[in-house]
Amino acid sequence: MKIDPRHLPSVPSQDAELVLTHDSILGESPLWEENEQVLYWVDIDRGQIHRFDPATSLNTTHTLETKVSSIGRCASGGLIVSLRKNFAHFDPATGEVRMLDTVEGDQPENRFNDGKCDRQGRFWAGTMNEVHIGAPVAALYRFDRPGSVQQMIPEVTISNGTGWSPDGRTMYYTDTLRYTVFAYDFEIESGSISNKRVFFEAEPSAEGLPDGLTVDAQGFVWSALVNYGRMLRFDPKGKLERMVTFPPTRGTCCTFGGPDYRDLYITTARECLTPEQIAEQPLAGSLYRCVPGVQGLPETPFCGLF
């Protein structure tokens, strides 16, 4: 399906509520930690990992010495993270960072961007060029365990949201400056992908950029539409079914959380906004939430550090 963000179909819509006022430059990678009942999320440009407790509205912050672009839970404890060039393990209790594998050491302008674990506990993260934005020189990688990194998709513009159908047999993947979310057949045992096809694409002239995504328990895909302040929900065939709106235009990613995974959390950003736009959007970079009436799924923890 091809959509024009300037002329979206008439579908049910609801507003998200503000849950944390923040000035993050590039809020991203929200992750529900079910054992703690808290939301972890990052500010990529500041190298920060945040921990938001909905019960107390307290947000605590760890600042790393490098950019941190995505996070996932580890079965062995702590978080698997993608830093600027490295996969790493982060221990929130001590603040310790354990460097793991490195990618694209021969491409100094590239850094990691979004990442997520598949339903078997392998961590997928991709890259982007920070200088020549949108140059097709990035890639998506699969990280099974230390010493095992495989490039899975080459010639990417900006690697972004990744998610899997509830049965794990379909992978959704966002190539942002191709304005497209692709679908792949996913081989569960090996983690291989095949049969690439367009799931949905945005009209490039409208400058609506698909960003982070998640998949709910019904197999519907939620995708952030940057520059329009929208979170779009598509059915498994790629038809727009509903949307969630919020004041900042640069919504970046979403995930389900809460005791029964019925709360949809949304990260936003200030990146690329002019001072005048920030004055018009003072809540850009804040955290939002809504209850859309559908349930999400727990994220599988990374299983490669045993």
Active-site annotation, residues: 211
210 CB-contact burial (10 Å; exposed 0-12 / middle 13-18 / buried 19+): buried
What single string gives the DSSP state of each residue in 106-123? Answer: T-TTEEEEEEEE-TTS-E
Q: What is the DSSP letter of 53?
A: E
The C-alpha atoms of residue 103 and residue 133 are separated, in whole angstroms, by 19
Calculate the alpha carbon distances from 227 to 42, 250, 255 in Å.
Answer: 20, 5, 19
* Whole-angstrom distance, CA of residue 305 vs CA of residue 286: 32
Strands (E), 165-204: 170-175, 180-186, 193-202
Sign (positive/negative) of CA torsion 198, 200, 206, 209? Answer: negative
Rounded to whole angstroms, the Cα distance separating 38 from 71 reads 14
Whole-angstrom Cα distance, residue 157 to residue 161? 13
Integer Cα distance of 30 and 70 in angstroms: 8
Cα(209)–Cα(270) distance, integer angstroms: 15
Instruction: Please return the burial class of 218, using the count of CB atoms within 10 Å of its CB with bins 0-12, 13-18 and 19+.
Output: middle
